[in-house]
Each structure stands twice: as structure tokens, then as C-alpha cells.
């Protein structure tokens, strides 16, 4: 049983990692091209010819990457509030069934496992951005925004999970 759960978490964690890496690479290329920064593809990857151009591209692409993380966290929080099978209102269920969208209703375990995965990526990204800031590779604004949004999302997920567990335990007896 534990191996199925672990396998599911690993499987659900790989797709977000691929999405984030792709977002970072594509946004670096698009930002660098749009801003006409001094860069090129080399055998070792994308090369910038001065630090200012790199910091600019890295900062903006990090905002895009973190934007993806935070957007998905917002969607997960919305799902936990409105579309969780333990909280969904009958009126909402009727509407979703009539529209053929009942598959949007999601189990509590799925919501919080996705929330944990995406929150982990938010913490990891914020931590990496902090160290990049310490090394002068990203702007303070980017680190500040990612840190504040990560703390807010974490608090919201924590209190929502606490409320869900309270609901679960109060209905067991």
C-alpha cells in the first residue's frame, strides 16, 4: 500500500518539475530575445555575455516560473474550498453534473497531496532564489515576492488542512 502511495507521489511530482523547468527555459529565451539581451546558445547551454543581462533574464524568468507555481497553488486552494468531495455543496454538484464537469470534484487526499507537492516546489524555488540573491544573480524584488507568496500559500494550506482534519475527526464519532 505504501509503495502505491509513494509511486503516485513521485509520479505527480515529476510532471510539475518538467513544467517548471520548461517554463524557466522558455521564459529565459523569450525574455532575452524580447529585451534584446546579449546571449547565445553554446555547447554548454545559454550563455550571457554580461552579468546585468543574466540577472535581468534570470529575475524575469524566475517571476514567470514562480507565477506558474503560485497559479497552481491558487487553483489547489480553490479546489480545496469549493470542489473537495468532503465540502462540495449539493447545489455545486448539481451544476457540475448538469454541465458534465463532475470530474472537477476531487478527493481530499488528491487535493492535499498536490498541495504538498506544489508547496514543496514553492519553498524550494524561494530557497534557491534566496541563495541566488545572496550571490547577486537575481533581484531582491523577486526573492521578496516569492517568499511572501510562499508563506501566505503555506499558511492558507495549513489552516485549510487543519479545518479539514477537524471536520473529519468531528464527524467520526
Q: Is it the case that residue 100 has pLDDT exceeding 90?
A: no
Q: Is it the case that residue 107 has pLDDT exceeding 90?
A: no
pLDDT band at 168 (very low <50, low <70, confident <90, very high): low
pLDDT band at 95 (very low <50, low <70, confident <90, very high): confident
Task: Give the mean model confidence (pLDDT) for residues 54-63.
Answer: 96
pLDDT at residue number 167: 61
Burial of 147 (0-12, 13-18, 19+ CB in 10 A): middle
14-50 tens-digit pLDDT: 889 999 999 999 999 999 999 999 999 888 888 999 9
pLDDT at residue number 56: 95
- List the chain domain ranges: 2-170
Task: Give the mean model confidence (pLDDT) for residues 70-79.
Answer: 93
Q: Is it the case that residue 118 has pLDDT exceeding 80?
A: yes
125-160 tens-digit pLDDT: 999 999 999 999 999 999 999 999 999 999 998 888
pLDDT band at 172 (very low <50, low <70, confident <90, very high): low
Q: What is the pTM of this model?
A: 0.84
Task: Give the mean model confidence (pLDDT) for residues 67-87.
Answer: 89
Amino acid at each position: 500500500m505504501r509503495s502505491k502511495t509513494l509511486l503516485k507521489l513521485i509520479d505527480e511530482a515529476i510532471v510539475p518539475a518538467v513544467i517548471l523547468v520548461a517554463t524557466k527555459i522558455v521564459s529565459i529565451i523569450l525574455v532575452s530575445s524580447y529585451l534584446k539581451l546579449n546571449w547565445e546558445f553554446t555547447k554548454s547551454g545559454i550563455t550571457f555575455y554580461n552579468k546585468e543581462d543574466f540577472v535581468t533574464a534570470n529575475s524575469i524568468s524566475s517571476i514567470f516560473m514562480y507565477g506558474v507555481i503560485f497559479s497552481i497553488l491558487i487553483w489547489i486552494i480553490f479546489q480545496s474550498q469549493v470542489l473537495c468531495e468532503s465540502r462540495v455543496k449539493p447545489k455545486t454538484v448539481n451544476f457540475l453534473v448538469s454541465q458534465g464537469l463532475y470530474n472537477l470534484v476531487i478527493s481530499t487526499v488528491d487535493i492535499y497531496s498536490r498541495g504538498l507537492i506544489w508547496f514543496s516546489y514553492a519553498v524550494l524555488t524561494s530557497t534557491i532564489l534566496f541563495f541566488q540573491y545572496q550571490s547577486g544573480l537575481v533581484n531582491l524584488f523577486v526573492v521578496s515576492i516569492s517568499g511572501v507568496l510562499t508563506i501566505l500559500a503555506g499558511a492558507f494550506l495549513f489552516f485549510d488542512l487543519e479545518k479539514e482534519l477537524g471536520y473529519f475527526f468531528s464527524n467520526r464519532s
